[in-house]
Every structure is written in structure tokens, then in C-alpha cells.
A and B are shown apart, each in its own frame.
Chain A
Amino acid sequence: MTKLNNTICISAAMLALLTIGSCRKEMPVLPAEGEMVDNNPGSAEQIKGLYILNEGNMGNNKCTIDFYNCTNGYYLRNIYAERNPNVVKELGDVGNDIAVYQNKLFAVVNCSHFVEVMNARTAVHIGTVNITNCRYITFKGDKAYVSSYAGPVQIDPNARPGKIVEFDINTLEITREVVVGYQPEEMVIKDNKLYVANSGGYRPGNYDRRVMIVDLDSFEVTKEIDVAINLHRMEMDNNGRIYVSSRGDHYGIGSNLYVIDSNTDMVTDTLGIAVSEMHLNENKLYMTSVQWSYITGSNEISYTMFDTDKQEIVSTSFIDKDIAKEIKIPYGVTVNPENGEIFVTDATDYVTPGYLYCFTPEGQFKWKVRTGDIPAHFAFSELELK
């Protein structure tokens, strides 16, 4: 009898435990968080907002989009998940570029291997274009051009070229592809010529050195320009000069900036400026640089402004020096084309959220706000987010 009772007791205890074990709350869809950052944002006739793409660390699926409303000074963090609750695993892994074009918002998600296409007014999902290892996006007419590391696999898997993928922004169908150099990065388009900077970033010691020109009619590489190793950023000024940055090799060869004349497609100048990030606004190039020094055991950081008309450096600290000290890793820079406000992001330690800093055109600190992890890329929008 005792034995039986005991058995009942044990079974009961286990049942009780099991019941506890069976109810667990579900993970909610994460809501966006908002906060007022600028009580006096000034007039915003044309530019209504700024999208910020946070890369998120690799393997964490933490790419997110924030939105700064230029008309009312309100900042919204992580807007994608709540607007797209049915998209499996949110925005994805490691964002690498963002753009607004013809009322659509495009996010290039590198390690999720697709371009997310959204409504620029609502950030609601329209569709995706699968492009393996996609990097940057640019546009012409109703076509988008995306650089990708994943060209055809060759017999020697170490020598795998990248490609440029063209897709139609209305149908979201891939229309053409062209094989370019190794690990292609940023692009600019002039008339019918697409310039792409090849890095060879997967081939240390054997970096690519070429800017390639793709003819957009034939969609073939028509010219290669030898520039420097490990090319990355690209901007084009009003005079048709293309600024292309080299990352260097992180050992003996430092980062540098080169100028290509798009009329002659020749390298015309070497500016001797270290560049990690670069943004062109009117006739000013805003550049930040972070270079690790084994001598000091810390990162050496610079903020350089270059006048593209005068062809000279006009500032070596385009933001407030005290604030600049606070920024650990400047990881993105842009300028509001309407009012000249400067935006710089800080990626801090890459594993906790970063910050977005806003400065007046003169570099005076205006405000700062917490972002997602590794805030890096920007897109201004002429539409207000609903």
C-alpha cells in the first residue's frame, strides 16, 4: 500500500513538473523603439527622412533598419520586424548597402544573399532578389546593378571572380550578369559606363588592382584601369572625376585615395588620404579613416574633407574634436543634401549597439542617438515614413 502511494506521489510530482515544462511564452515580434532626438529639426522641404542600415554581426541575423524623420526630429529604431511580421527571420544577416530609388527602398543583405525590396513610404516588404554574396547597389533607369563576390567558380577556387547583376526594379527579375574582377565593391555610373572597384579582398597578397568599366548596352567589360590594391569606395564629382579608395594591405601599404578622369578613363591623381568611409556632397568629399597601429596599440582615426573643385584638403577634422574623441570606430558618414547636416555613425565594439551623431554643416554637435549593431549605411528619402 505504501509502495503504491509512493508511486502515485512520484507520478504526480512528475506530472506537475511536466505541466510546468509545457507552458513557455513565445518570442514577440520586436516593436520599433522611438525617441525624440531633435526638437528643432529645421525645415525639410525636400528630404523628409534618413534610413540607417545596421549591419549586425555575422551569423547573428541582426541586420536592422532605423529611420530618422527630418521633419519632426523623431528617431525610430528597428522598424523592419514590426512592419513585416510574417517575413521569416526578419531582415537577415549582415546588411551591406541601402538605397531609395523610385519610391522603393532597397537593402543589400550580404550574408543572407539577397536584396530586400520595400516600399519606401512604409518599409513594407515587396519582394526579394536573390544574389549570392551581394555587396553594393546602384541604379540607372529602371534597372538596379548589384556587385557580388560570387561569380562563376573556376577550376582554381582561389581565383573566383565576382560579377555585376542587373535586375529590373519593377519585376524584380534578374536581367543580365557580367563577370568582373575579384570581390567587386562600390560602383558609379556615368552615362552608359558602369565603373566598379575590384578589391580581391579574399586574396590577401594577391589583391585585385583594377577598376573595370562595364558598358551598359553590351553589358561587357570594355576597359580595365590599373589603380592600386584592394579597392573599395567610389564617388563621382560634378566634373566627372571618380574618387576610388584603396584599403591597402593592413601591413606595410596604407589606405589611399585615387582619382580617375572619366573622360579619359585614366588615373590622374593620388591624393595620399587614408579612407575607410567616403561620401560626396556637392563639391565636398567627407572621409573618415580608421587604421590600426601596432605601435600605439590603438586605432588611428581621421576626418578629412576634400574640396573637389579646388582639389585640396579643406579640413582635417570636419566634426567637433571633443565629440570625435568619443567616437570609437567611425563607420558611416553622410550629409543631408538639403541642409548640409553631417551624420557620422560609431560602430563602437561591433557587438553592442552603435550610435548615430548629427552635426551642423560646420561640424557643431547637434545630437546623438543609439542605433542597432554596426550602423553603417544611409539612404535619404524624399518620402516620410508612414
Chain B
Amino acid sequence: MRRRLLCNVMYIFTLLALTASSALGQNRLDSLQYIDEVVITAQTRQKEVIPVQQLKGEQLQRLSSHNVADALRYFSGIQIKDYGGVGGLKTVNIRSMGTNHVGVFYDGIELGNAQNGQIDLGRFSLDNMESVTLYNGQKSAIFQPAKDFGSAGSIYMQTRTPKFDDKKDYNLKGTFKTGSFGLANPAFLWEQKINEKLSSSLSAEYMYTTGKYKFTYRTKDGYDTTAVRQNGDVNAIRVEGALFGKIDNGYWRAKGYFYNSERGYPGAIVRNKFTHEDRQWDTNAFAQGSYKKDIGWYSIMFNGKYAYDYLHYLADPHKDEALMYTNNHYYQHEAYASLANRFTLFPWWDISLSTDYQFNLLDADLRDFVFPRRHTILVAAATAFDFDFLKIQASLLATHVRDNVVLDTIAAPNKTEWTPTVIASYKPFKYIDLNLRAFYKRIFRMPTLNDLYYTFIGNTNLKPEYTNQYNIGFTYSKQIGSPWLEYIELQADAYYNEVENKIVATPTSNFFRWTMINLGIVEIRGIDAAVQAMWRWNKFLLSARANYTFQKAQDFTDSESEFYGGQIPYIPWHSGSAAINASYRGWEMNYSFIYTGERYSSTANIPVNYQLPWYTSDFSVAKSLKAGPGELKITLEVNNIFNQQYEVVTCYPMPGINFKGIIQYTY
């Protein structure tokens, strides 16, 4: 009897864990609001009118993640392209529209890479991160820079804002992480209250990893080989300093960021070639500032940034005789300024006008390089109506792009694009926390400077690549307060996206000679769903969350192709994640599970391109205790417990079981 009961309970929990549950942060907070480090609060919050997913505070730290890309795996509707290991390139693709359609924002200002439009999210540490938020469409606040209207989907990384206890005017935090892959990762944070109106923070981090791990390639009744991943070492330093000022009815912030790294390229594992020797050096630095003030019915916000990025790639045949000698240096400069204005005409009606200007410059020591410079002007006009039961936002973004190159005859022509967004949300019942929402957004991405001007490959005739998104969904939450269920929250969205004029590489006369053209058409039909729930018994707290994504992302480029309508590469039909967190007094336990279903490495959905589903289980336990004047927290993680051998990208093996220990002292 007792046994059967246990089985039933087990079954129910498994179901919950697999299909539903969740509590680690899918909160629908406006990121401009103050973000509390409480898992779930009872009060009803401002409902987001756009699909949003957020991981923040403790939740974020609990997820056994090395970096922001790892954490994003817990969101629905996204795919991470991961080349493996701590140092491997990790890029994110929202709802299958492509990496170049993702805007990545760091403390409110977009990170740029005019060269290839990709941001390696594996490089952003979680050490100093307060929240990571994913918006489909755009952030549903109309009072924002014009650039924030300019991506098909956006990821906002928000670093910690200092908060001080009444008695203390500083915070210190020291962290040391070590474990598999020869990881040594000390980090330090110092937050100081200078006076009531000014505080500062300084954060520094060093990371070293050998990047070595064992991997196995095995076929059923065939070969079985195990080797160690080589040339995946990373040596990186990050230093960040910020000032936080308060003014009457507003604030200002200033920040400096510096990142420097050297890393190996682990490379593809192919027959007879398991090691590589090419290397890359990066320096990324930026300074940025924000100012915001409300003056009665008028609000003003200014943002400015200067960024410098340096990349050095070296392939030296002295080290690996298979390499073609390549020694290239790339230098990028970006300057950005934005002015946003909001006018509150009535309590229920806001309008806003934002104007941004951005300058990009790319220099490189490539042969026949044209040294492109790009000027971008963005103007966004937006309006928001907020009635109790109905919220509507509409915005129109105008973008003007002008390129110059050394030989002005071959610069891409100037472009001006007008792109709209309409967002609505509706709350049908006064006492039921159910919200229905819908949005339409049309946006584009400019061809990157590589697409246009990369020696041999670039094509200056390229047109922008457009996306159209249509989304409907709902959110529902309920505070139950029963010991069997404290709180539950559900959200689901169904969407249809189109990518037009998709920029693809196409072969020309031979294998080494490709060019970029506007060719592709992709249609994406998908469902994102998420559930989170919480249970509480006295001091015992259990929270769980789960995400599920269905995506049918088809290539409709060539109607004569045998593979017309095939699922695009590396997009699984089914994927999901689940995480359970239990805490009791100073103890904490986490289990998380990630699943990526079957998919193909090519639009030719045939057996030779088939990729097995993969799923990993990560487990961690942590204990916090008083130590001297501060608090000590010790965490042990075991990731990929079942040592599953898998690949996200074909020929790039991922790590099997791995361990991490974290000691953190806060005062």
C-alpha cells in the first residue's frame, strides 16, 4: 500500500518535472523595475504584454552555468549553438530566425559586432550578473532607445546594482570556482556607498581553463574511440567599474568594461584530425553612460557608448603543418548616442520619440580590404495606451544606413527602412490573473560588414534580411497558498515567423569561392510554453519550472529542390528543460534537465544528417553558513551526471560528466 502510494507520488512528480513544474525565474517583470532577489512574491505585478522570460538573482546562480549562454538554455523558444567546452563559441538563435536577429544588451545598451553580427554569449560571466532576460519582439516599454526597437528578439544582461543594508556602506564578495577542465576562476566584487546619492562598484574576474575533456565517438556495433579535447584553453580577464548616481526624479550611471582573452580554437573532430593549433586573441573595451529624469509629464533619457574591439587570429603552419598560414588582425570602433523622450499625455496614454546615431568602423589587414565605415540613424516613434483591462503599444522605427568604403564606387547603396510593431494585451476577468496577448512585428537586419565587404566573399548588392513575427499567447498565475501548491504560473505562446531575403552563402566557381546572396525564405511555426510552481512547508521550500518548445522551421527557398520545406539545420522539433530547487535552512539542492530532440544538420532531412536527441542532467548542492562577519557559501556541482556523449554542432563534441566547486564569501 505504502509502496503503491510512493509510486504514485513518484509518477506525479515525474510528470510535473517533465511536463510542467518550475520556479526558477520565468518572471514577468519590467526590467526597469527594481528586481528583488526573492524567487516569487505574492503580489500581482505589472503584466508584460510581450513574451518575456527572465532568470535573476539566486535562480540564475543556481543553474550550474558557466556563463550567460549556459543559462539561456533554460528559456523556451531559443537554440544555443555551442561548439563545446568553456571556451567554445556559443551563439543564440531566438525562434529560429537566426543569430543575427538577436539584439544583446549589456546594462541597457546594445553590444555590437558590425563585423559578423554575432555575440559570443559564452564570454559573459554570471559572476556579476543580476538578471538575464529574453524578450520576443521587443521590450514592452516604449520609453527606450530606438535601437531597442530594432531586433526580432532581445537579450538583456543586467549586472548588479549596489544595494546596501542600513548599517553598512559597502559590500564585498569573493568567489573562487574550480573543477573539471582545469578551471581556475577567481572573482571579486566591491560595492561602495560614497554618499546618499552616489555609489560605485568594481568587479574583476580571471578565468583559466585548459579546455581539456574526454569525449567518445561510438557507433552501434562499430567503432568506439575516446580522446581528449585539445586546444580549448582560455585565459581571460574581465574588469568592470561603475558609478550609480541618484538625482531628483531620476538617475545616472556610468560604466567601464574591459575584457581580454587568449584562446585556442578546438576545431572540428574529423577522421585522422583530432587536434588543432590555431589561436585567437581578443580585447573588448567599452565605456557607457545613461541619464534619466522625469519632469512632470515629460521624461528624458540619454545613453551613450564608445566601444573598441580587437581580434587577432593566427593559424601557423609551424605549429600544425596542415594549416594554411593566416595572421589577421581586426579592429572595430563603435560610437553610439541615443536620446529618448516620453510624454505622458494622460495617465492612460504615453507617447515617445527616440533618436539614435551609431558609427561603426572596421579595419583589418586582409588583402584587398575596403575598410568599411557605417553610419546608422534610427528614429522610433511609439505610443502606449494603458486601460485597466487593455494595453496597446504601437511603434514605428525608421532606420537609415549609409556605408563608406575606401573605394567609394563599391560601397553598398544607402538604405532607409520603415518597420512597425503592434502589441496588445487583454485581461478579460477582473479577479482572475489571466492575460491574453498578441503582437506583430516586422524588422530587418542589415547585412553585416562581412556579408558586404569581406574580401572575395562579400556582395555589396545585398538587401536587408527581414523578419515578420505574429504571436498570440497568454499568462496565468494563481496564488493558492495550500501546502500542496503555494503558487503556480503558466504562460504559452504560439507564433508564426517569416524570414525573407535570408542572406546565405552560396557557392560560385569552386569550393573555396563562395558569395553572399539574398536567397532564403524560412517559415517558422512554434509554440513556447512554460510553467512554474512553488511549494512551501514551514522552512522547506520547493520550486520547479519547466519549459517546452515546439518548432517547425522550414526552408522554402527553392521550390524545385527535393528538400523544399525541410526543417532548417540544428532546429529540433521538440526541446525543453526542467529545473527543481529545494531549500531548507542553509541547504539548497538543485536538479536541472535539458532536452534537445532529434534534428538534422542540414535541410536535407535524411538519415545521414540525423542528429540524436541529447539530454543532460545537472545536480548541485550548496550550503550557506555564517563565518565571521559575513556569509560563506559552498557549492558542489555535478554536471551531465550520466556522462552523455553528445554534439550540438556536428564534429564538435561536448563535455561528458564534469564537476565544479564554488566557494563564495560575502560581507
Contacts and interface: CB of A to CB of B under 8 A. Distances in A.
B412 to A, nearest CB: 13
Contacts of B459: 294
B416 interface: no
Contact of A351 (B270, B560, B603, B617): B603
Nearest to A96: B511
A18 B641 contact: yes
B295 interface: no
A319 B252 CA distance: 72
Residue from the set B271, B507, B512, B617 with the largest chain A CB neighbour count within 10 Å: B271
A26 B593 contact: no
A180 to B, nearest CB: 16
Contacts of B316: 157
A21 interface: yes
Interface stretch (A58-66, A188-196, A234-242): A58-66
A83 B6 CA distance: 50
Chain B, interface SS category: loop
A255 B604 CA distance: 32
Contacts of A64: 608
B241 interface: no
Contacts of B368: 205
A202 B367 CA distance: 12
Contacts of A28: 219-221
Contact of A130 (B272, B507, B560): B272
B650 A27 contact: no
A17 B19 CA distance: 12
A250 interface: yes
Contacts of A30: 607-608
Interface in A2-17: 2-3, 6, 8-10, 12-17
A17 B10 contact: no
Residue from the set A21, A26, A352 with the largest chain B CB neighbour count within 10 Å: A352
Given A297-B517, A352-B563, A88 B217 contact: yes
Contacts of B318: 153, 157
A309 interface: no
A261 B223 CA distance: 50
Contacts of A158: 325
Interface in B631-661: 641-642, 644, 650-651
A357 to B, nearest CB: 14
A352 B507 CA distance: 12
B12 to A, nearest CB: 8
B219 A29 contact: yes
A53 to B, nearest CB: 13
B273 A93 contact: yes
Interface in A78-109: 78, 85-93, 109
Contacts, number: 217
A2 B272 contact: no
Contact of B9 (A9, A62, A153, A205): A9
Interface residues of A, number: 83
A22 B316 CA distance: 42
B642 A21 contact: yes
B511 A370 contact: no
A25 B650 CA distance: 17
B18 interface: yes
Given A247-B509, A372-B608, A29 B221 contact: yes
B234 to A, nearest CB: 21
Given A62-B608, A202-B324, A347-B507, A29 B220 contact: yes
Residue from the set A58, A93, A289 with the largest chain B CB neighbour count within 10 Å: A93
A243 interface: no
B580 interface: yes
A219 interface: no
Interface stretch (A35-43, A110-118, A334-342): A110-118
Nearest to A87: B223
A292 B513 contact: yes
B17 interface: yes
Contact of A349 (B221, B507, B537): B507
A125 B461 CA distance: 48
21 contacts: A8-B6, A12-B6, A13-B13, A13-B14, A15-B10, A17-B578, A24-B612, A27-B612, A55-B511, A60-B601, A64-B608, A89-B225, A93-B268, A153-B317, A158-B325, A204-B456, A292-B515, A349-B506, A349-B507, A349-B558, A352-B566
Sorted nearest first, the 7 A-B pairs with minimum C-beta distance are A13-B13, A292-B508, A85-B222, A92-B271, A93-B270, A89-B271, A157-B325
